[in-house]
Structure 1
Amino acid sequence: LPEFRDQVRLHRRKIRELFGLRTVTFRNTELIYNNAVAREVERLGYRVVLAEGADRILGWRSPNFVYQPAGCHKLRLLLKNYRLSDDVAFRFSNRAWSEYPLTAEKFAAWIHQANAAGEVINLFMDFETFGEHQWEDTGIFEFLRFLPRAVLTHPDFRFQTPAEAAMQYTPVAQLDVPQFVSWADVERDLTAWRGNDMQQDALATLYGLEQRVRQSRNPQLLHTWRQLQTSDHFYYMCTKWFADGDVHKYFNPYPSPYDAYVNYMNVLSDFTRRLEGGRKRSR
């Protein structure tokens, strides 16, 4: 938890430095979320938290409402509408998809259809969706160009920031999420990063260095150690197959998850030697 808090504060400070704004909405890495994360986020002073609208946490409920996290008093919870979000993020250029091609007008019509069964529609996707996952020649930028106009043809719709939307509506229910949920893979849990022995070994080794890193009082070593926490390192070690495996392979710069693990552990070994060298010089 101390490391989590430190990184959140660093990010908040950077946002203020770059944009002059105090952040009030929290989005965790890969939308990783549970009750404990929500409570910590509230303690850090945030007013809104974003999470995946996974079926297993919603049950019969809809992601198109504002919720309150279990155990929190002021924090509001906004959930990703994963079906509509994934239509753009993953299916947009899929010629085998029954709805291909996806036009701005068609997508706006789907959004409008949700008007009678919700108050907010949260579309969450990676920045790299636009131009990397979906290349320019797919028409993704033209889609984005015309989408706002198509959505706003309906008088009941407007665009808002997460904080604006969350504050406008009263939470319809308290949502209890004891287990971790994320936006990754079919399971929408943490198995994309810690689902096999290689990932767990790498994570245990990395976090096992925390005390020594902090005791070194070396800002550069601390910065490097934090960079080694980047979730992609562990994502590349995932050994899932079938549909999820295809997604992992698409983003993986290594020939295999095993190569990713070996390379990472070699880097970690080198970092450990640097850490030991720094400690000896400081004595």
Structure 2
Amino acid sequence: TANGPSTFCSGDSVLLSSSYPNGNTWTPTGNTSSSFYATSSGTYTVTYTDANGCTATSNPITLTVNPSPPAPIVNPQGPLIICADGVIQLYSNTSGGNVWSPNGETTDTIMVYTPGNYYVVNSSGPCPSAASNIVTVNLGSNPNPPVISLTGTDTLYCSSASSYQWSLNGNPIQGATGQFYVPTANGSYSVYVTNEDGCGTMGEPYEFTLNELTYLEGPEWIIAPNPASNLLTVLWKNNSRAKIQVLDIQGKLLISQTSTSGNENLDKGNVQPIKVIVSR
């Protein structure tokens, strides 16, 4: 007898039992116990042999094993980080029949708002698939809002972060992705920063007004013009020896030279804006 349905899914089994405790031989497996778990499709019989060598064969039982579909694959594969008030989209590579855990959604794609372990089973056929890969979603921490400060007379900077994007009046500034930024126009400047988790935040804007001076003056030098043209002039008030460095707004070094006295004409090319560092 079969103690269970004769049709079952791959990975399951059914218990076949003989009415005799001993003297059994099962076909086609050759098993000699009084019962065993069958896991394959086929027609099964059991032959009983008594002490005198007489035999009797049971009625046949036909078993059918339905195959399970391949296990789905969930992408993107983890571990992943979700930021506060953020969302992550997970999708199955199978179309239709998806049942997600732990939330029970039945769509091909789900939106994840909370941390946890997520996987999907495909139930489109008579038998469910094995579970997909498990994607772990962890909760990331948002960075502290950045505080913008003014250094010198023309440069904005903010606290350290993994990445930066400066904006003017709410519009991102192309290429302004460093900790420092030299404004080229009056307005409201803000910066969006991210941390190592990839989570980001924006701080309070900084109202900036351009320096109206046509030159910059230090204790021993004058730099003109301001704003800079292609040719930059450094005028020394006294005979001095100093190092002059010219950088673009991303911090790339354009010019580095040592001056001893007189006027220095520096051809920086058509790069705007720039930062000039004079050091002894």
Q: Under TM normalisation by the shorter chain, which class is it?
A: under 0.3
Normalising by the residue count of structure 2, what TM-score does the alignment of the two structures yield? 0.19
Normalising by the residue count of structure 1, what TM-score does the alignment of the two structures yield? 0.19
Bigger RCO (CA 8 Å, 6+ sep): 1
Which is strand-richer, 1 or 2?
2
Which is helix-richer, 1 or 2?
1
